[in-house]
Amino acid sequence: MYLVCGEALFDVFSLDEGARSSQLELQAIAGGSPFNVAVGLRRLAADSALFAGISTDFLGERLRKVLHEEGVSDAYLVPSDAPTTLAMVAVDAQGVPQYSFRGEGCADRMLGLEHLPALEARVRGIHVGSYSLVVTPVADTLFELVRRESDRRLISLDPNVRLGVEPSIELWRQRVEAFAAQAHLIKVSEEDLALLYPQRRPEDVVSQWLSQRCQLVFLTHGSDGASVHSRQHGRWAVPAQAVDTRDTVGAGDTFQAALLAYLSRHGLDSPQALATLSHRHIEAMLGYAVRAAAVTCSRIGPDLPYAHELEQP
């Protein structure tokens, strides 16, 4: 089982304008990058749990209901009287989302060191990412968790930079570097690397990460596909799968979930197994993640695929 750590919220999309200018049609969809990854793992037949602060308000109860319906374990949820975060989402003509957040003092940010759980033996890996890496107290709590567990459980990281939550790129850089030093597998978008390290070549950043604990770095390039950088086997890339893109909301989370689900399915979800992963397995992981992300791009919103949808004829 993977323990996915971080925010759980509602993405709020603006629909068509109302009949009057004083009216605005909105649609709210359960989300947050870690929330999506936890759901994506279950849809791809891998066990998952979410370690997050969940509000006791109406929206928090709806988030719990979604997790229950998707089969995500609630054993590590921490209830809070603080409200649920809302992310306002605008999608541009290319289907790329832009976010603004209403989250100061909300439940998903309030996880403290006192909430650190003792983990069951069946927790094989821990995934962290997005703004829970930088906002306190949750950032400090998650860092202590991965530092404590990195010698015995697989740690994966997706920076998923959200400057609308924390505008200081220097703080993002410091926190991502701290988490990257504890991670065995890192997935990062080309856009995030450009934000974090505008003066550095991507391959130099990846080499730095691979010189530490990390064994694999997956770099996504949007419509240009994705590449993998392996400490043992070098670098190679694959093109994106052709698809009629509706939007790209949730595509990165799908890619991440597919990588971890592949490892789980093949019994490779440990630091030791990752260090000896064959070229064939890495290539299959990459292809699986690209196909999964394409399915999400063909849909509106973070509607992640199920395992049967990725079965090849």
- Contact at 8 Å (CB) between 187 and 156? yes
Is residue 169 in a domain? yes
Is residue 310 in a domain? no
Is residue 122 in a domain? yes
The pLDDT tens digits for 233-242 are 999 999 988 8
Q: What is the CATH number of the domain that holds 265?
A: 3.40.1190.20
Is residue 127 in a domain? yes
- State the Cα–Cα distance between residues 8 and 15, nearest whole angstrom: 22
Place of tokens 């996880």: 111
The domain tally of the chain equals: 1
Residue 67: per-residue pLDDT: 98
Is residue 20 in a domain? no
pTM (2 d.p.): 0.94
Is residue 311 in a domain? no
Structural domain boundaries, residue 161: 2-14+29-305
Is residue 248 in a domain? yes
Q: What residues of the chain score a pLDDT lower than 70? A: 16-19, 92-96, 313
The pLDDT tens digits for 173-184 are 999 999 999 999
Is residue 21 in a domain? no
The pLDDT tens digits for 177-230 are 999 999 999 999 999 999 999 999 999 999 999 999 999 999 999 889 999 999
